[in-house]
Structures are given as C-alpha cells and as structure tokens.
Amino acid sequence: MENLPEQDYSNAQPSPGAIKSALRRKIASDVGDPQSLLGTVSDASGVLVAMAFADIVALENNTTFANYRTAKLAAYAALAGDADIAGLANAALANIQNGDAKLTASLKGIENVINETLARSTAVATILAQASA
C-alpha cells in the first residue's frame, strides 16, 4: 500500500454542525438544560398569548382609541397582578435598548427569525396535514 503524505489540519475550521453542538453544550451548561429553556419559552409565550387576547377583547369592546387604550392597559394590569406592568415594560425596554438585556432574535436578525419560524411552522404543518389525510 502506498504511503500517503501526512495532512496538516492545524488550520482546519470546525464544521457548522460541530460549532452548533458546542454552542448548545455551552448554553446547557451556563444557562439551562433544554427543558428549563422550554419552560422559559412557554412562560413567555403564555404571557404574549394572554396579552394578544386582552388586546383583541379591548379592541372588540371599544369604539374610541381612548377607551381601547384604557381597556387594554387595564387588562394588562389584571394579567400582571400586583406588578406595575407599565413600570416592568419600561424597565425591560430600557434594558434592551441600553444593552443590559439581549434578545436572541436581535442577534440572529428579525428577518432571519421570522423566516425560520415560518419555515419550521410550514414543515410541521405539512407533516401534520399528511398524517391527517
């Protein structure tokens, strides 16, 4: 058998899959396991869905912007319980704007996040539709 020349891998770049796996291990180690992250996403999604419902109800039940605004803020306040929802929103937005808090969607790019969301949703919906056909 012929001897092959030794390959120099000192400048080899890790594959995208290896990078993604390393990032996922780091996230699980430093931030939380997938179940914990899913719990946080579930909490945030629940809040957003409840706020969307509050917005729809406020819009449906009021004919002027002033009444709609009042009803919407009252519904948000009811969802927040004892917390000052406007204060929480102002503080959270300020933290995002000054860089103290970061959104993964901002790092990825909003357009990329929207496209990825639609592509995954479409793929799952296609599988579910095929299963029910």
Residues 96 and 67 in one domain: yes
The answer to the question of residue 118 being in a domain is yes
Whether the Cβ atoms of residue 75 and residue 54 lie closer than 8 Å to each other: yes
Overall domain count for the chain:
2
CA angle 105, 17, 43 (to 5 degrees): 35
pLDDT band of residue 4 (cuts 50, 70, 90) is low
Query: Locate tokens 């990329």: which residue?
Result: 112
Q: Does some domain include residue 122?
A: yes
pLDDT beyond 60 at 1: no
- What average pLDDT is seen over the chain? 92
Rounded Cα gap, residues 115 and 118, in angstroms: 5
Evaluate if residue 128 carries a pLDDT over 70.
yes
Give per-residue burial for 2-29: e unless 16+ CB within 10 Å, then b. Answer: eeeeeeeeeeeeeeeeeeeeeeeeeeee
**Would you state the pLDDT for residue 2?**
58
Domain range for residue 131? 104-133
Using the predicted structure, report yes or no on whether residue 22 has a pLDDT greater than 80: yes
Q: What is the mean pLDDT of residues 47-76?
A: 96
8: confidence class by pLDDT, cuts 50, 70, 90: low
**Count of Cβ atoms closer than 10 Å to residue 58 Cβ:** 19
Question: Is a pLDDT exceeding 90 seen at residue 131?
Answer: yes
Does a structural domain hold residue 126?
Answer: yes
pTM, entire model? 0.72
**CA dihedral angle for residue 107, residue 84, residue 94, residue 47, rounded to 10 degrees:** 10
Is the residue at 115 inside a domain?
yes
Q: What is the pLDDT of residues 85-118, one digit of tens each?
A: 999 999 999 999 999 999 999 999 999 999 999 9
pLDDT at 12: 77
